[in-house]
Chain A
Amino acid sequence: MKSLSPRLVPLTIFVAIYAIIFVVFASMSSAFIRPTNIVEILRGMSANGIAALGLTFVIITRQSDMGFPWVASLGAMTMGHFIASGYDVPVAIFMGVLVGLAWGAVNGIAIGLFKLPDMITTIATGSIAFALGYLYSNGDSIYDNFMTSGILRLNDARFLGVRLPIVLLAAFFLVGWFILDRTRFGRAFYATGENRRSARLSGIPVQIYVIVAFCLCSAFASFGAILSSASAGMADVRTGINFLMPAYVSVFLGNAMFGRPSAGATLLGALFTETMIDGFTVLNVPFYYGDAIESVVLVLALLSSKPELRDAFRGLFIPARSMVGGGRL
């Protein structure tokens, strides 16, 4: 039997597992495989996926961000506020993303420069962002001017016949992949995460890379929340809240399958996650079951990225030699 190229093995495993869950959902509901639903999976994936891509940068530098969902909510509310106040759509989007960027910079400086613990810091700063989100409207949803300003086109417009959110998703991941895989900046992110000391001694400004990672995480999450708001037709203080689990599942599922976090791994992780979310919705599974199952997947992903388990698992498919350096997407 001809053996597979080591790089293709994880991809093959992914396709196989994905096919299985796809067939299971399809067999349980005919609505699942309708073309409109397939488009819906991709469209729904855009917001979560872009947030997960931002998180990928933070995970690559071996940090954690627990606060980006709340920051994303603030970003969406900021955008809503500017729309309601009559500003142009690009200005409103820009302001929403800018708030996210600023929050990320605060996180990055606190964690990268002042060495505060990442989880606790981001929970604290995220909580502040969440509280500030209420200030625009006392916590009410904002939908003034949403119908007339054109913000809805962010969700509805088509580019070459493809829905804009899907185009944006593809564009973000393309750029993310390019930066991480094809530029020296990507190398620096990986080097910073894996061995900060050696990265510094190699002349890499590691603190800057940590700061940039947190900036991208919060800014991307804010943009994701803005996409969600355009789809919902309103900005709500809870918009970003649901990013947490899907984003972590996407990144760590990808990491488990491909051996390291990367844009491509996160994209496939996000596809997997979104398919599950969508499948549960189509089957009318209560959301709390969905959350629980996602969490189980996350724990399984974490378990399977343990080297000991991983080697045992991989040994089933590929000879030991090709394990090194393989699985990079």
Chain B
Amino acid sequence: MEIALSARGICKRFAAIDALRDVDFDLRAGEVHALLGVNGAGKSVFVKILSGLLRKDAGQIVVAGAEIEIGDPHQAELSGIASVQQRPELVDDLLGYENIYLGHEAPGGAEFQSFDRGALERRALSLSERVGLKVDVARPLRAMTAIERELIAILQALSSETIRVLILDEPTSVLTEAEKGVLFSLIRNVKAKGVGVIYITHRLDEVFEIADRFTVFRGGRVVATDVVGRVNRSGERIAELMLGASLGEVYPAKVTRPGDVLLSAESISYGGAFTDVSFAVRRGEVLGIFGLLGSGLDELSKVMYGDLSPSDGRLLVKGDAVRLRNPKAALRRGIFMVPGDRWAEGLTPTQDVAFNITLANLSRVSLFGGLLRRRLARKTSAKLAALVDLQPPDTWRAAATFSGGNQQKVVIAKGLFTEAEIYIFVEPTVGVDIGARAKIYALIRELAATSAVVVMSSDCDEVFGLSDVILALHKGRLTLDAPTAQVSREEVMVAGLVGQAGRQAL
């Protein structure tokens, strides 16, 4: 079979970290090739190199028999590689076909050349007919649904005459099941025209449905490439490949003395994000919840912290049903959340560490309801900074000047300052180097000695390594609820990746 694209020995380093090491990859013409791997495995870096968003350090890329250099997205396009990003950037004010040909309205492409809208529309129509698609390209983009936008973005990618490779980055993350069907039939048509499709996804069920072959990335290397039909549909083998050997040693020993239940949920739901979720977390234990992007994990954390209100069910703090109207109400009930995006949600970056640490409980260092006791605030923050091992321990420095791991320690210290009894950690180690990671895990475990801790993450290993009780969330439903000691990592991974169906097949 003809090879559409082949990559040999691709390497990419970021500072001291090997993002890609000697990656070999072949894409056949007319196949759908799924790229799999946990966050940070290297698959995004790899497709960014193919689409010209990053430059490789070493290796060669061959398209249609000729070696090419991809310096920028335009060169990628000229070489026949088109990509659709996770959230395609389209212009809301323009019509569908104007978006498809944006920047390519007229042959020659001079900036101020006039173009013929009618001709553009006819071109768009014939293009969508060629790939067997029924979409009204003459409507303004803002009137379009998620799937229509996705299709417009794909048509935009296909609009080049010379296309050989189409890269789709988690195209289904915003689509419903029915819409997914439309997308998949488009992919099949594109494939039939001899285009090679690289398909990035976290969802194994989609791999089994649409992909011909798959490649698994782990730690910047390709660990396996195989034909989809040759692996068990339970996904257990793929989960194993994605996880690799356990990194058990970074996780602290689990010493639990479960006490009374501090936080529990009774079949709570939020819109379409998650349904009928129940759990209870006790003082002295860590509850881990594993879920991928789009599983409802993010919404669940917000509901638990009063940032969103559940549409159904109820939350109980120490056995009392509570209605958390906002995060302030949650804080008052002794709940603190270390948010997943610390830059956007956890820090006031230009203010100093002491400002950040004290922010969530300023009344603790105020007199008469408002007057700040600045010396006390400084002293208390310095103590907490030492407790979380902030490096360097300078509480007068702006939060932005610290490394990712140390910024996370600042947010944890901010939580400690609130003297909460229930801590929720969302993606606690995203962007945190391995050294700081071990410290943060140790802190989480220490916290669990006196309080209840919930760790919510899309990193299966992390949830597994930290928790005493583990849940998995798949498409908004709990697919696993067990003491961590009684399940394997692979079972957890499959429950989050494939859901109930996968577990039954195991």
Contact = CB atoms under 8 A, between A and B. Distances in A.
Interface residues of B, number: 37
A312 interface: no
A289 to B, nearest CB: 37
Contacts of A195: 344-345, 347-349
Contacts of A201: 305, 307, 327, 337, 339, 345-346, 360
A180 B105 CA distance: 54
Given A198-B345, A325-B397, A204 B328 contact: yes
A187 B372 contact: yes
Contact of B401 (A198, A200, A260, A324): A324
Interface string A190-227: 11001101111111110000000000000000000000
Interface string A290-329: 0000000000000000000000000000000000110000
A188 B362 contact: yes
Interface stretch (B121-129, B151-159, B363-371, B494-502): B363-371
Interface string B350-370: 111001001111110110001
A199 B352 contact: no
B326 interface: yes
Given A324-B397, A324-B401, A191 B328 contact: no
A interface majority secondary structure: helix
Contacts of A203: 326-328, 330-332, 360-361
Contacts of B326: 200, 203, 205
A24 B466 CA distance: 69
B379 to A, nearest CB: 17
A199 B397 contact: no
A185 interface: yes
B414 interface: yes
Nearest to A187: B362
A187 B359 contact: yes
Contacts of B339: 198, 201
Interface string B323-337: 000111011100001
A30 interface: no
Contacts of A260: 350
A184 interface: yes
Contacts of A34: none
A202 B305 CA distance: 11
Interface in A234-263: 260
A324 B401 CA distance: 8
Contacts of B358: 187
B366 A183 contact: yes
Contacts of B370: 183-185
B362 A197 contact: no
Nearest to B368: A183
Interface residues of A, number: 22
B327 A194 contact: no
A198 B397 contact: no
Interface in B277-336: 305, 307, 326-328, 330-332
Contacts of B359: 187, 191, 198-199, 202, 204
Nearest to A205: B328
B396 interface: yes
B442 interface: no
B398 interface: yes
Contacts of B355: 187, 190-191
A6 to B, nearest CB: 11
B396 A325 contact: yes
A182 B351 contact: no
A154 to B, nearest CB: 30
A202 B351 contact: no
Contacts of B307: 200-201
A202 B330 CA distance: 10
A191 B348 contact: yes
A183 B368 CA distance: 10
A199 B346 CA distance: 8
A202 B327 contact: yes
A187 B362 CA distance: 9
Interface in A159-189: 182-185, 187-188
B362 A194 contact: no
Given A191-B348, A195-B344, A202 B397 contact: no
Contact of B363 (A184, A198, A200, A202): A184
A187 B357 CA distance: 12
Contacts of A184: 362-363, 365-366, 370, 372
A247 to B, nearest CB: 24
Contacts of A197: 344-345
A191 B347 CA distance: 9
Contacts of B352: 325
Contacts of A190: 348, 351, 355
B345 A191 contact: no
Contact of B327 (A182, A185, A200, A324): A200
Contacts of A187: 355, 358-359, 362, 372
Contact of A325 (B345, B348, B371, B398): B398
A133 B235 CA distance: 73
Given A182-B371, A184-B363, A205-B328, A194 B348 contact: yes
Given A203-B328, A203-B331, A198 B351 contact: no
A324 B398 contact: yes
Contacts of A324: 397-398, 401
Contacts of B360: 201-203
Nearest to A186: B372
Interface string B373-398: 01000000000000000000000111
Contacts of A325: 352, 396-398
B138 to A, nearest CB: 30
Interface in A26-47: none
A189 B397 CA distance: 20
Contacts of A185: 370
B351 A191 contact: yes
Contacts of B366: 183-184
B466 to A, nearest CB: 22
Interface string B96-115: 00000000000000000000
A40 to B, nearest CB: 36
Interface in A48-66: none
A167 B443 CA distance: 53
Nearest to B330: A203
Interface of A: 182-185, 187-188, 190-191, 194-195, 197-205, 260, 324-325
Given A194-B350, A199-B359, A203-B330, 10 more contacts: A182-B371, A182-B372, A187-B358, A190-B355, A191-B348, A195-B347, A195-B348, A203-B326, A203-B331, A324-B398
7 contacts: A183-B370, A185-B370, A187-B358, A199-B359, A202-B414, A203-B326, A204-B359
Closest 5 pairs between A and B when the two form their complex, measured CB to CB: A184-B362, A203-B328, A202-B360, A203-B331, A183-B370
